[in-house]
Amino acid sequence: MTPMRWSIVCGMLAGIFCAGCQPPERPMRNVVITGSTGMMPLLRDIGKRFEADRPDVRVDVQGNGSAHGITDTRLGLSDIGMVARSLKPNEAVLHATPIAYDAVCILVHRSNTVPALSDDRIVRIYTRGITNWKEVGGPDLPIVLIHMADGRSLLELFLDHFKLRSTQVRGDAIIRDSEQGIQAVASRPGAIGYVSCSHAQTVATTTPVRVLPSEGIVATAENIRDGTYPLSRPLQLVTREKPKGLTAEFIDFARSNAVLDLIEKHHFVSLQK
């Protein structure tokens, strides 16, 4: 066999053997995250950044409410639950890790001249003890109650803070998230509602709404972070057990300096100054 033919044969044999020796592709690893609709856009952005350096990882984020995040995590339907509030006593078996803070803001129409509302007056408004804005120093307008749907963490925080039962409140309009709440107040001069401060502050200059202080305290980042603002809340990632493996890696990433710009982009408050 000539040297040239021999080299061709060797090359073919090498190709055959090497084809069988290729390292197998790494299987895809998935992180399934469900829960708070308010946290969903932030977690989707964090997930995309997490995937960028990990081609074998996919992060699936679905928003269906904090209550579902708890249930899905308990049942093993998700690896991580997004919960925009503190855990309740009967949820303490779950492992919760805060990644940022948010707060609930009381919202009125920009044309409403009422300067502020005490907690007592807010309770009386939402239980129909006060029905016209003129009774609290505002315009002569019927009060329109914008109320959050069941299962939302905003509702739970609102009811808990004002010590109300859900049966005591009958809203004129029921909303499912902060964006709907902002639009509902903006389109009704007599409306009052409660929404995520992160959403309210984002649109305050372009939408005819106004944020009221809570017991005289403004919802600044510092007041929210240190708990001075009464209606502040943690944004938490929950797991059935102490995080480990890929789940722990993702949660650590979500708390790291690598995502501080994303927390700021979504107008939440970081854990540290």
- The CATH number given to whatever domain includes residue 163 is 3.40.190.10
In a domain, 12, yes or no: no
pTM over 0.75? The answer is yes
Residues 260 and 218 in one domain: no
With 0-12 / 13-18 / 19 or more C-beta atoms within 10 angstroms meaning exposed / middle / buried, residue 139 is middle
pLDDT means over runs of 10, the chain (273 residues)? 47 50 74 94 97 96 93 97 94 96 94 95 97 96 95 86 93 93 97 92 87 92 92 95 97 97 92 84
Q: Which two tokens stand for residue 265?
A: 């982009």
Instruction: Give the DSSP H or E segment for 81.
Output: strand 80-83
Residues 95 and 148 in one domain: no
Output the pLDDT for position 8.
43
49: left (phi > 0), else alpha (psi -120 to 50), else beta? alpha
3-state secondary structure (DSSP) of residue 238: strand
State in Å, rounded, how far the first CA of the chain is from the last one: 77
Residues 108 and 176 in one domain: yes
Residues 151 and 92 in one domain: no
In a domain, 9, yes or no: no
Residues 33 and 53 in one domain: yes
Output the pLDDT for position 194.
96
Output the pLDDT for position 16.
47
Residues 132 and 68 in one domain: no
In a domain, 260, yes or no: yes
**What is the total count of domains within the chain?**
2
Residues 194 and 250 in one domain: no
Phi, psi dihedrals of residue 265, rounded to the nearest 5°: -60, -40
CA distance 138 to 158: 23
Output the pLDDT for position 20.
52
In a domain, 271, yes or no: no
In a domain, 44, yes or no: yes
Output the pLDDT for position 54.
96
Residues 137 and 76 in one domain: no
Residues 171 and 85 in one domain: no
CA distance 161 to 166: 12
Residues 131 and 113 in one domain: yes
Phi, psi dihedrals of residue 269, rounded to the nearest 5°: -105, 125
- Which residue(s) pair with 32 in the sheet? 60
Residues 126 and 219 in one domain: yes
Please name the residues in contact with 57: beta carbons below 8 A apart, sequence gap of 6 or more: 28, 29, 30, 31, 50, 51, 246
List the domain range (segments joined by +) for residue 35.
29-100+235-265
Residues 168 and 107 in one domain: yes
CA distance 35 to 12: 55
In a domain, 2, yes or no: no
In a domain, 116, yes or no: yes
In a domain, 270, yes or no: no
